[in-house]
Amino acid sequence: MIATLNGIDIDLKTSAEIDAMHEAGLVVYEAHMAMRDAVRPGVSTAELDRIAETVIRDHGATPVFKGYPKKDSPDFPASITASINHELVHGIPSPDRILKEGDIISLDCGCTYNGYVGDSAYTWPVGEVAPAVMRLLEVTEGALYEAIRAAVLPNETKDVSLATADYVQRHGYSVAREYTGHGVGKEMHEEPQVPNWWPSGPKARRLNFVSVPLRPGMTIAIEPMVIAGRAELRELSDKWTVVTRDRSLCAHYEHTIAVTEGEPIILTRP
């Protein structure tokens, strides 16, 4: 059912649709767990992609990233994005990108199953990593759960954004401002947008940030992207991979959730 909230059309899902999205989310979860088990020094990001795609196709689901279009770029060629160390998002899997001891690897994966999409991301340590690096991963995951806790009535999307930003800043890191969480359902990217920060006062209007009230049946992907250094990004010449300009480490966690009358339901895990 489409609800128009603050001028934005949002597809609110029925409980049957939310169940269908959970099915899709569980396929994504299984793909992630298979990749997690395979992450180790010496494995290539192409191998992780193959593992995820196999899980997805074995379920009769479709990788939603593969062939994903982007203006002025080639379509995305793989089923996951695999971003190493200072790569934040959208890294292209390759047989030449081999994980090393002490790296971190951000893996984002989505699939369509019975017409509905699940979308989630994790950052894993490769072998043993420094305690400061582990802390970055823990804070990023913590920001995700803090944001999910804020996804309750009568909050608005802005409250979810601010919960993320406040948590990250309190722990001494920055959020990526250019990439946002989003509605998800029949498509990977639906309304509303759920940024990881929120500009204050009139700036929000100037930047076209629109906060919408949360409603039961709203399904959104919440995805904090956290940077240990300065929050300045650039895109590599492959037209996809996004990296931090100062080459500082960054991490990315994501779950697809459903807003309810009570606690949110996390759809991309059991």
Instruction: Output 20 or 225, the one with its CB closest to Mg ion.
Output: 225
CB of 223 to Mg ion, least distance (A): 5
Tell me how far apart the alpha carbons of residues 197 and 138 are, in angstroms, rounded to a whole number. 19
Decide whether 47 or 119 has the Cβ nearer to Mg ion: 119
Rounded to whole angstroms, the Cα distance separating 148 from 143 reads 9
Task: Determine, following the binding rule CB under 5 A, whether residue 119 of this chain makes contact with Mg ion.
Answer: yes
Q: Is 266 in the site for Mg ion (CB under 5 A)?
A: no
Is residue 108 a contact residue for Mg ion (CB under 5 A)?
yes
* Shortest Cβ 179–Mg ion spacing (Å): 9
Q: Kindly state whether residue 190 participates in binding Mg ion, applying the rule CB under 5 A.
A: no
Q: Residue 144: CB partners within 8 Å, gap ≥ 6?
A: 164, 222, 223, 224, 253, 254, 255
Question: d(Cα 78, Cα 253) in Å, to the nearest integer?
Answer: 19
H helical segments located in 4-104: 15-38, 45-58
Question: Smallest distance, Å, CB 188 to Mg ion?
Answer: 7
Q: Among residues 30 and 108, whose Cβ is nearest to Mg ion?
A: 108
- Give every CB contact of residue 170 below 8 A, 6+ residues apart in sequence: none
With CA atoms as reference, report the closest residue to 49 among 72, 66, 74, 71: 66
Contact flag: residue 194 with Mg ion (CB under 5 A): no
Please report, as residue ranges, which positions from 13 to 72 form the binding site for Mg ion (by CB under 5 A).
Answer: none
Distance CA 16, CA 123 (A): 31
* Pick 188 or 214: Cβ nearer Mg ion: 188
Write the Ramachandran bin of 96: left for phi over 0, alpha for psi from -120 to 50, otherwise beta. alpha
> CB of 69: closest distance to Mg ion in angstroms?
16
The CB-of-267 to Mg ion minimum distance in angstroms stands at: 12
From the CB of 103, what's the least distance to Mg ion, in Å? 20
Closer CB to Mg ion, residue 121 or residue 266?
121
Site for Mg ion in 218-257 (CB under 5 A): 221, 254
CA distances from 172 to 118, 135, 162, 167, 186 (A): 31, 11, 15, 9, 37
Number of residues that bind Mg ion (CB under 5 A): 5
Range in contact with Mg ion (rule: CB under 5 A) among 41-49, 72-80, 102-110, 161-169: 102-110
Question: Residues 267, 182, 200, 243: what is their CA dihedral angle, to the nearest 10 degrees?
Answer: 100
Which is nearer to Mg ion, 181 or 217 (by Cβ)? 181
Per-residue tokens: 90? 């959208």
Judged by the rule CB under 5 A, the positions of this chain that interact with Mg ion are 108, 119, 121, 221, 254
